[in-house]
Amino acid sequence: MKIVLVTSGQPSLNPRLVKEADTLSFAGYEVTVLYTYWNDWGTKLDVTLLKTKKWKAIRVGGDPEQKPLVYLFSRIMHKLTICGAKKTRLKYFAEFAISRNSYWLMKAASARHADLYIAHNLGALPAVIKAAKHHNKPCGFDAEDFHRNEVSDDPHNFDVLLKACIEDKYIPQTDYLTASSPQIGEAYRKLFPSKEPIIILNVFKKNLDIKATHIKPDTPLKLFWFSQTIGTNRGIEEVLKALGTINHRKFELHLMGKLQHNISKGHFEKLAGHTFYSLYFHDPIAPDDLTVFASQFDVGLALEPAFSFNNDMALSNKIFTYMQAGLAIIASNTTAQRILLQRQPEIGKVYEIGNVQSLSNILQHYAENTDEVYKARQASLHLAQTSLNWETEQLMFLNIIDTFNR
Protein backbone atom coordinates (compact mmCIF):
# COMPACT_ATOMS: atom_id res chain seq x y z
CA MET A 1 0.00 0.00 0.00
CA LYS A 2 1.37 3.38 -1.04
CA ILE A 3 0.73 6.41 1.16
CA VAL A 4 1.54 10.04 0.39
CA LEU A 5 1.78 12.56 3.24
CA VAL A 6 1.70 16.23 2.29
CA THR A 7 2.73 19.25 4.35
CA SER A 8 3.14 22.93 3.56
CA GLY A 9 5.99 22.98 6.09
CA GLN A 10 9.21 21.00 6.59
CA PRO A 11 9.75 17.61 8.27
CA SER A 12 12.00 18.94 11.04
CA LEU A 13 9.39 21.60 11.86
CA ASN A 14 6.52 19.11 11.80
CA PRO A 15 7.32 16.28 14.26
CA ARG A 16 3.74 15.05 14.09
CA LEU A 17 4.14 14.29 10.38
CA VAL A 18 7.51 12.61 11.00
CA LYS A 19 6.00 10.33 13.65
CA GLU A 20 3.23 9.28 11.25
CA ALA A 21 5.66 8.70 8.38
CA ASP A 22 7.98 6.64 10.63
CA THR A 23 5.08 4.55 11.95
CA LEU A 24 3.71 3.85 8.47
CA SER A 25 7.13 2.99 7.09
CA PHE A 26 7.89 0.66 10.00
CA ALA A 27 4.51 -1.02 9.48
CA GLY A 28 5.51 -1.88 5.94
CA TYR A 29 3.78 0.82 3.93
CA GLU A 30 5.54 2.60 1.07
CA VAL A 31 5.64 6.21 2.24
CA THR A 32 6.38 9.43 0.38
CA VAL A 33 6.39 12.84 2.04
CA LEU A 34 5.87 15.98 -0.06
CA TYR A 35 7.05 19.11 1.73
CA THR A 36 8.16 22.69 1.10
CA TYR A 37 10.87 25.11 2.12
CA TRP A 38 10.06 27.18 5.20
CA ASN A 39 13.35 28.49 6.59
CA ASP A 40 17.12 27.94 6.56
CA TRP A 41 17.57 26.45 10.02
CA GLY A 42 14.77 23.98 9.40
CA THR A 43 16.47 23.00 6.15
CA LYS A 44 19.73 22.27 7.95
CA LEU A 45 17.90 20.08 10.45
CA ASP A 46 16.11 18.33 7.56
CA VAL A 47 19.43 17.24 6.06
CA THR A 48 20.35 15.34 9.22
CA LEU A 49 16.83 14.08 9.89
CA LEU A 50 16.12 12.68 6.43
CA LYS A 51 19.36 10.68 6.31
CA THR A 52 17.94 8.38 8.98
CA LYS A 53 14.51 7.78 7.41
CA LYS A 54 13.27 4.85 5.35
CA TRP A 55 10.54 6.94 3.71
CA LYS A 56 11.07 9.15 0.68
CA ALA A 57 10.95 12.95 1.04
CA ILE A 58 10.48 15.32 -1.89
CA ARG A 59 10.67 19.10 -1.57
CA VAL A 60 8.57 21.15 -3.99
CA GLY A 61 8.03 24.85 -4.63
CA GLY A 62 11.64 25.97 -4.78
CA ASP A 63 14.01 27.41 -2.21
CA PRO A 64 16.44 30.37 -2.02
CA GLU A 65 19.59 28.34 -2.82
CA GLN A 66 18.90 25.39 -5.12
CA LYS A 67 15.82 26.66 -6.98
CA PRO A 68 15.73 30.43 -6.42
CA LEU A 69 13.68 31.29 -9.53
CA VAL A 70 10.89 28.87 -8.62
CA TYR A 71 11.02 30.18 -5.05
CA LEU A 72 10.81 33.81 -6.23
CA PHE A 73 7.93 33.04 -8.57
CA SER A 74 6.07 31.19 -5.82
CA ARG A 75 6.39 34.19 -3.49
CA ILE A 76 5.14 36.61 -6.15
CA MET A 77 2.28 34.27 -7.02
CA HIS A 78 1.35 33.93 -3.34
CA LYS A 79 1.24 37.68 -2.79
CA LEU A 80 -0.85 38.21 -5.89
CA THR A 81 -3.33 35.50 -4.92
CA ILE A 82 -3.68 36.97 -1.42
CA CYS A 83 -4.56 40.31 -3.00
CA GLY A 84 -6.97 38.56 -5.35
CA ALA A 85 -8.57 36.66 -2.48
CA LYS A 86 -9.12 39.86 -0.54
CA LYS A 87 -10.67 41.66 -3.49
CA THR A 88 -12.95 38.82 -4.54
CA ARG A 89 -13.89 37.77 -0.98
CA LEU A 90 -12.05 34.46 -1.43
CA LYS A 91 -14.22 33.38 -4.35
CA TYR A 92 -11.43 32.40 -6.74
CA PHE A 93 -8.06 32.46 -5.02
CA ALA A 94 -8.42 30.83 -1.58
CA GLU A 95 -6.65 27.57 -2.50
CA PHE A 96 -3.59 29.47 -3.72
CA ALA A 97 -3.62 32.13 -1.00
CA ILE A 98 -3.56 29.58 1.84
CA SER A 99 0.10 28.65 1.19
CA ARG A 100 3.04 29.86 -0.86
CA ASN A 101 3.36 26.39 -2.33
CA SER A 102 -0.28 25.48 -2.92
CA TYR A 103 0.09 25.17 -6.69
CA TRP A 104 3.24 23.01 -6.49
CA LEU A 105 1.78 20.78 -3.79
CA MET A 106 -1.36 20.23 -5.87
CA LYS A 107 0.72 19.39 -8.92
CA ALA A 108 3.12 17.08 -7.07
CA ALA A 109 0.43 15.24 -5.10
CA SER A 110 -1.76 14.63 -8.13
CA ALA A 111 1.25 13.34 -10.07
CA ARG A 112 1.84 10.57 -7.53
CA HIS A 113 -0.44 7.56 -7.52
CA ALA A 114 -1.11 6.30 -3.99
CA ASP A 115 -3.68 4.28 -2.08
CA LEU A 116 -4.12 6.95 0.59
CA TYR A 117 -3.31 10.66 0.85
CA ILE A 118 -2.84 12.44 4.19
CA ALA A 119 -2.65 16.23 4.70
CA HIS A 120 -0.71 17.93 7.46
CA ASN A 121 -1.22 21.69 7.82
CA LEU A 122 -4.11 23.50 6.20
CA GLY A 123 -1.98 24.56 3.23
CA ALA A 124 -1.70 20.92 2.19
CA LEU A 125 -5.40 20.09 2.43
CA PRO A 126 -6.53 21.25 -1.07
CA ALA A 127 -3.64 19.34 -2.67
CA VAL A 128 -4.57 16.12 -0.89
CA ILE A 129 -8.28 16.40 -1.72
CA LYS A 130 -7.55 17.07 -5.38
CA ALA A 131 -5.01 14.21 -5.60
CA ALA A 132 -7.41 11.77 -3.93
CA LYS A 133 -10.20 12.73 -6.31
CA HIS A 134 -7.88 12.54 -9.31
CA HIS A 135 -6.92 8.95 -8.46
CA ASN A 136 -10.28 8.02 -6.89
CA LYS A 137 -8.61 7.15 -3.57
CA PRO A 138 -9.34 8.02 0.09
CA CYS A 139 -7.70 10.84 2.04
CA GLY A 140 -7.37 12.17 5.56
CA PHE A 141 -6.49 15.36 7.38
CA ASP A 142 -4.59 15.78 10.63
CA ALA A 143 -5.78 18.92 12.44
CA GLU A 144 -2.91 19.72 14.76
CA ASP A 145 -4.62 23.05 15.47
CA PHE A 146 -8.06 24.58 15.22
CA HIS A 147 -6.80 26.38 12.18
CA ARG A 148 -9.42 29.06 11.56
CA ASN A 149 -8.69 30.54 14.99
CA GLU A 150 -4.93 30.13 15.13
CA VAL A 151 -4.21 33.84 14.70
CA SER A 152 -7.40 35.58 15.76
CA ASP A 153 -10.95 35.03 17.00
CA ASP A 154 -12.26 38.01 15.02
CA PRO A 155 -14.67 36.57 12.42
CA HIS A 156 -13.83 39.47 10.07
CA ASN A 157 -10.06 38.89 10.21
CA PHE A 158 -8.73 37.85 6.78
CA ASP A 159 -6.73 34.94 8.18
CA VAL A 160 -9.87 33.63 9.89
CA LEU A 161 -11.96 34.04 6.74
CA LEU A 162 -9.34 32.38 4.52
CA LYS A 163 -8.80 29.36 6.75
CA ALA A 164 -12.51 28.95 7.41
CA CYS A 165 -13.10 28.97 3.65
CA ILE A 166 -10.57 26.17 3.13
CA GLU A 167 -11.89 24.13 6.06
CA ASP A 168 -15.54 24.50 5.06
CA LYS A 169 -14.83 23.46 1.49
CA TYR A 170 -12.38 20.60 1.99
CA ILE A 171 -12.79 18.96 5.43
CA PRO A 172 -16.22 17.51 4.48
CA GLN A 173 -14.48 15.77 1.57
CA THR A 174 -12.00 13.89 3.77
CA ASP A 175 -12.45 10.22 4.64
CA TYR A 176 -11.10 10.67 8.15
CA LEU A 177 -10.11 13.51 10.48
CA THR A 178 -7.69 13.42 13.40
CA ALA A 179 -7.13 16.17 15.99
CA SER A 180 -4.41 16.84 18.55
CA SER A 181 -6.56 17.52 21.63
CA PRO A 182 -10.04 16.56 22.82
CA GLN A 183 -11.07 20.23 22.79
CA ILE A 184 -9.94 20.78 19.18
CA GLY A 185 -11.64 17.55 18.15
CA GLU A 186 -14.90 18.66 19.74
CA ALA A 187 -14.70 22.07 18.03
CA TYR A 188 -14.36 20.40 14.63
CA ARG A 189 -17.15 17.94 15.41
CA LYS A 190 -19.51 20.85 16.07
CA LEU A 191 -18.51 22.47 12.77
CA PHE A 192 -18.75 19.24 10.79
CA PRO A 193 -21.33 16.93 12.43
CA SER A 194 -20.76 14.25 9.80
CA LYS A 195 -17.16 13.89 11.01
CA GLU A 196 -16.07 12.13 14.17
CA PRO A 197 -12.52 13.38 14.82
CA ILE A 198 -10.16 10.83 16.34
CA ILE A 199 -7.84 12.27 18.98
CA ILE A 200 -4.12 11.62 18.46
CA LEU A 201 -2.16 13.46 21.16
CA ASN A 202 1.11 15.30 20.49
CA VAL A 203 3.13 12.75 22.43
CA PHE A 204 6.55 11.27 21.67
CA LYS A 205 8.36 7.95 21.82
CA LYS A 206 9.28 6.92 25.32
CA ASN A 207 12.91 6.98 26.34
CA LEU A 208 13.58 4.47 29.10
CA ASP A 209 17.13 5.77 29.57
CA ILE A 210 15.91 9.04 31.10
CA LYS A 211 15.71 9.12 34.87
CA ALA A 212 14.33 11.76 37.22
CA THR A 213 17.04 13.16 39.49
CA HIS A 214 17.08 15.04 42.77
CA ILE A 215 17.98 18.73 42.79
CA LYS A 216 21.28 19.23 44.56
CA PRO A 217 21.30 21.69 47.50
CA ASP A 218 22.39 25.24 46.69
CA THR A 219 22.08 24.73 42.93
CA PRO A 220 19.79 26.89 40.78
CA LEU A 221 16.34 25.59 39.88
CA LYS A 222 16.58 25.12 36.12
CA LEU A 223 13.55 26.19 34.05
CA PHE A 224 13.13 25.27 30.38
CA TRP A 225 10.91 26.63 27.59
CA PHE A 226 11.11 25.92 23.86
CA SER A 227 9.32 26.71 20.64
CA GLN A 228 10.22 27.33 17.02
CA THR A 229 10.17 31.07 17.77
CA ILE A 230 11.21 33.06 20.83
CA GLY A 231 9.04 36.16 20.76
CA THR A 232 6.48 38.32 22.44
CA ASN A 233 3.01 37.16 23.50
CA ARG A 234 4.38 33.73 24.36
CA GLY A 235 4.26 34.10 28.16
CA ILE A 236 8.02 34.64 28.46
CA GLU A 237 7.69 38.18 29.82
CA GLU A 238 5.41 36.88 32.57
CA VAL A 239 7.91 34.34 33.82
CA LEU A 240 10.70 36.93 33.74
CA LYS A 241 8.60 39.31 35.81
CA ALA A 242 7.67 36.53 38.21
CA LEU A 243 11.31 35.55 38.69
CA GLY A 244 12.10 39.19 39.40
CA THR A 245 9.93 39.08 42.51
CA ILE A 246 11.91 36.21 44.09
CA ASN A 247 15.16 37.25 45.74
CA HIS A 248 16.19 34.37 47.97
CA ARG A 249 16.71 31.49 45.54
CA LYS A 250 18.75 31.25 42.36
CA PHE A 251 17.10 30.21 39.10
CA GLU A 252 18.20 29.56 35.56
CA LEU A 253 15.80 30.21 32.69
CA HIS A 254 16.67 28.45 29.43
CA LEU A 255 14.89 29.47 26.21
CA MET A 256 15.23 27.46 23.00
CA GLY A 257 14.17 28.71 19.55
CA LYS A 258 14.92 31.29 16.90
CA LEU A 259 14.36 34.88 17.92
CA GLN A 260 11.36 36.61 16.35
CA HIS A 261 12.60 38.78 13.47
CA ASN A 262 11.88 42.08 15.23
CA ILE A 263 13.02 40.99 18.70
CA SER A 264 16.57 40.84 20.09
CA LYS A 265 18.00 39.03 23.09
CA GLY A 266 18.30 42.44 24.68
CA HIS A 267 14.52 42.70 24.94
CA PHE A 268 14.47 39.75 27.33
CA GLU A 269 17.84 40.44 28.95
CA LYS A 270 16.60 43.86 29.95
CA LEU A 271 13.72 42.24 31.80
CA ALA A 272 16.15 39.73 33.27
CA GLY A 273 18.25 42.29 35.08
CA HIS A 274 17.73 40.58 38.42
CA THR A 275 20.77 39.19 40.21
CA PHE A 276 19.06 36.00 41.40
CA TYR A 277 18.50 34.33 38.05
CA SER A 278 20.39 33.79 34.82
CA LEU A 279 18.97 33.76 31.30
CA TYR A 280 20.26 31.45 28.57
CA PHE A 281 19.36 31.14 24.87
CA HIS A 282 19.68 27.95 22.81
CA ASP A 283 19.35 27.41 19.07
CA PRO A 284 16.78 24.83 17.90
CA ILE A 285 17.97 21.24 17.69
CA ALA A 286 16.72 18.15 15.88
CA PRO A 287 13.36 16.95 17.26
CA ASP A 288 14.81 13.51 17.98
CA ASP A 289 17.40 15.10 20.30
CA LEU A 290 15.01 17.40 22.16
CA THR A 291 13.82 15.04 24.90
CA VAL A 292 17.33 14.12 26.04
CA PHE A 293 18.41 17.78 25.93
CA ALA A 294 15.39 18.82 28.02
CA SER A 295 16.06 16.16 30.65
CA GLN A 296 18.95 18.20 32.09
CA PHE A 297 16.47 20.75 33.47
CA ASP A 298 14.07 20.60 36.42
CA VAL A 299 10.86 22.35 35.35
CA GLY A 300 9.23 22.70 31.94
CA LEU A 301 7.24 25.86 31.25
CA ALA A 302 4.02 25.69 29.19
CA LEU A 303 3.20 29.40 29.10
CA GLU A 304 0.46 29.55 26.44
CA PRO A 305 -1.34 32.93 26.76
CA ALA A 306 -4.71 31.80 25.27
CA PHE A 307 -4.61 34.70 22.79
CA SER A 308 -6.95 32.76 20.47
CA PHE A 309 -9.48 29.95 20.68
CA ASN A 310 -6.91 27.57 19.23
CA ASN A 311 -4.22 28.58 21.71
CA ASP A 312 -6.69 27.97 24.53
CA MET A 313 -7.73 24.53 23.26
CA ALA A 314 -4.40 23.14 22.06
CA LEU A 315 -2.20 20.60 23.82
CA SER A 316 1.14 21.41 22.24
CA ASN A 317 4.07 19.04 21.84
CA LYS A 318 5.78 21.25 24.42
CA ILE A 319 3.98 19.87 27.44
CA PHE A 320 4.37 16.24 26.33
CA THR A 321 8.09 16.77 25.62
CA TYR A 322 8.52 17.95 29.21
CA MET A 323 6.80 14.84 30.48
CA GLN A 324 8.91 12.54 28.33
CA ALA A 325 12.02 14.37 29.60
CA GLY A 326 10.92 13.84 33.19
CA LEU A 327 10.33 17.48 34.14
CA ALA A 328 7.92 18.97 36.62
CA ILE A 329 5.47 21.19 34.74
CA ILE A 330 4.28 24.73 35.30
CA ALA A 331 1.42 25.47 32.91
CA SER A 332 -0.83 28.43 32.22
CA ASN A 333 -4.51 27.76 32.81
CA THR A 334 -5.61 27.43 29.21
CA THR A 335 -8.65 25.19 28.93
CA ALA A 336 -6.73 22.20 27.54
CA GLN A 337 -3.75 22.48 29.90
CA ARG A 338 -5.95 23.03 32.96
CA ILE A 339 -7.98 19.90 32.21
CA LEU A 340 -4.83 17.84 31.64
CA LEU A 341 -3.31 18.86 34.98
CA GLN A 342 -6.61 18.47 36.81
CA ARG A 343 -6.54 14.86 35.68
CA GLN A 344 -2.83 14.48 36.44
CA PRO A 345 -2.18 16.93 39.33
CA GLU A 346 0.92 15.06 40.46
CA ILE A 347 2.97 16.22 37.45
CA GLY A 348 2.91 19.96 38.12
CA LYS A 349 0.99 23.13 38.81
CA VAL A 350 -1.22 25.59 36.94
CA TYR A 351 -1.10 29.38 37.21
CA GLU A 352 -3.58 32.04 36.14
CA ILE A 353 -2.73 33.67 32.82
CA GLY A 354 -1.66 37.29 33.29
CA ASN A 355 -1.30 36.88 37.05
CA VAL A 356 2.42 37.32 37.70
CA GLN A 357 1.94 36.79 41.42
CA SER A 358 0.24 33.45 40.79
CA LEU A 359 3.22 32.30 38.74
CA SER A 360 5.68 33.74 41.26
CA ASN A 361 4.02 31.82 44.10
CA ILE A 362 4.45 28.52 42.24
CA LEU A 363 8.08 29.24 41.41
CA GLN A 364 8.81 30.17 45.00
CA HIS A 365 7.01 27.08 46.28
CA TYR A 366 9.06 24.80 44.04
CA ALA A 367 12.25 26.64 45.00
CA GLU A 368 11.53 25.99 48.67
CA ASN A 369 10.30 22.42 48.17
CA THR A 370 12.71 20.72 45.79
CA ASP A 371 11.59 17.28 46.96
CA GLU A 372 8.18 18.13 45.52
CA VAL A 373 9.85 18.99 42.22
CA TYR A 374 11.53 15.59 42.27
CA LYS A 375 8.21 13.83 42.90
CA ALA A 376 6.58 15.75 40.04
CA ARG A 377 9.48 14.79 37.78
CA GLN A 378 9.02 11.13 38.68
CA ALA A 379 5.27 11.36 38.06
CA SER A 380 5.75 13.02 34.66
CA LEU A 381 8.23 10.42 33.56
CA HIS A 382 6.09 7.52 34.78
CA LEU A 383 3.05 8.83 32.93
CA ALA A 384 5.05 9.37 29.74
CA GLN A 385 6.59 5.92 29.88
CA THR A 386 3.38 4.05 30.65
CA SER A 387 0.55 5.74 28.74
CA LEU A 388 1.14 9.20 27.26
CA ASN A 389 3.60 8.19 24.56
CA TRP A 390 3.65 7.59 20.82
CA GLU A 391 3.85 3.83 21.28
CA THR A 392 0.30 4.06 22.63
CA GLU A 393 -1.09 6.76 20.33
CA GLN A 394 0.26 5.21 17.15
CA LEU A 395 -2.00 2.19 17.66
CA MET A 396 -5.05 4.41 17.12
CA PHE A 397 -3.41 5.93 14.06
CA LEU A 398 -2.61 2.51 12.58
CA ASN A 399 -6.19 1.38 13.22
CA ILE A 400 -7.36 4.25 11.03
CA ILE A 401 -4.94 3.36 8.25
CA ASP A 402 -5.83 -0.33 8.41
CA THR A 403 -9.45 0.45 7.53
CA PHE A 404 -8.21 1.53 4.08
CA ASN A 405 -6.04 -1.54 3.63
CA ARG A 406 -8.68 -4.26 3.50
Could you tell me if 69 and 180 lie in one domain? Answer: yes
Q: Which of 223, 208, 213, 215 is nearest to 324 (CA)?
A: 208
Could you tell me if 56 and 134 lie in one domain? Answer: yes
Q: Which of 347, 351, 354 is nearest to 384 (CA)?
A: 347
Answer left, alpha or beta for residue 274, where phi above 0 means left and psi between -120 and 50 means alpha. Answer: beta
Could you tell me if 157 and 274 lie in one domain? Answer: no
Question: What is the reported pLDDT for 250?
Answer: 85
Domain that holds residue 154: 2-203+389-402
Query: pLDDT category, 275, cuts 50, 70, 90?
Result: low
Q: Which of 124-138, 271-285, 293-307 has the lowest mean pLDDT?
A: 271-285
When pLDDT is averaged across residues 130-144 and rounded to a whole number, the result is 98
Could you tell me if 197 and 335 lie in one domain? Answer: no
Looking at the predicted structure, is the pLDDT value of residue 249 above 80? no
CATH number at residue 352: 3.40.50.2000
Could you tell me if 138 and 244 lie in one domain? Answer: no
Question: What is the reported pLDDT for 379?
Answer: 97
Could you tell me if 177 and 52 lie in one domain? Answer: yes
Could you tell me if 311 and 333 lie in one domain? Answer: yes
Question: What is the reported pLDDT for 314?
Answer: 94
Could you tell me if 55 and 160 lie in one domain? Answer: yes
Could you tell me if 100 and 147 lie in one domain? Answer: yes
Rounded Cα gap, residues 208 and 358, in angstroms = 34
Rounded Cα gap, residues 119 and 140, in angstroms = 6
Q: pLDDT tens digits, residue range 216-235?
A: 878 899 999 999 999 888 89
When pLDDT is averaged across residues 282-296 and rounded to a whole number, the result is 93
Q: Which of 33-42, 228-237, 241-250 has the lowest mean pLDDT?
A: 241-250
Q: pLDDT tens digits, residue range 291-349?
A: 999 999 999 999 999 999 999 999 989 999 999 999 999 999 999 999 999 999 999 99
| Residue 365 placed within a domain | yes
Neighbours of 264 (CB within 10 A): 10
Could you tell me if 362 and 395 lie in one domain? Answer: no
Question: What is the reported pLDDT for 274?
Answer: 59
Q: 181-194 burial string, b = 16+ CB within 10 Å, else e?
A: bbbbbebbeeebee
| Residue 216 placed within a domain | no
Could you tell me if 130 and 226 lie in one domain? Answer: no
| Residue 208 placed within a domain | no
| Residue 7 placed within a domain | yes
When pLDDT is averaged across residues 103-116 and rounded to a whole number, the result is 97
- Give the chain's domain count: 2
| Residue 12 placed within a domain | yes
Rounded Cα gap, residues 324 and 384, in angstroms = 5
Looking at the predicted structure, is the pLDDT value of residue 163 above 90? yes
Question: What is the reported pLDDT for 91?
Answer: 77
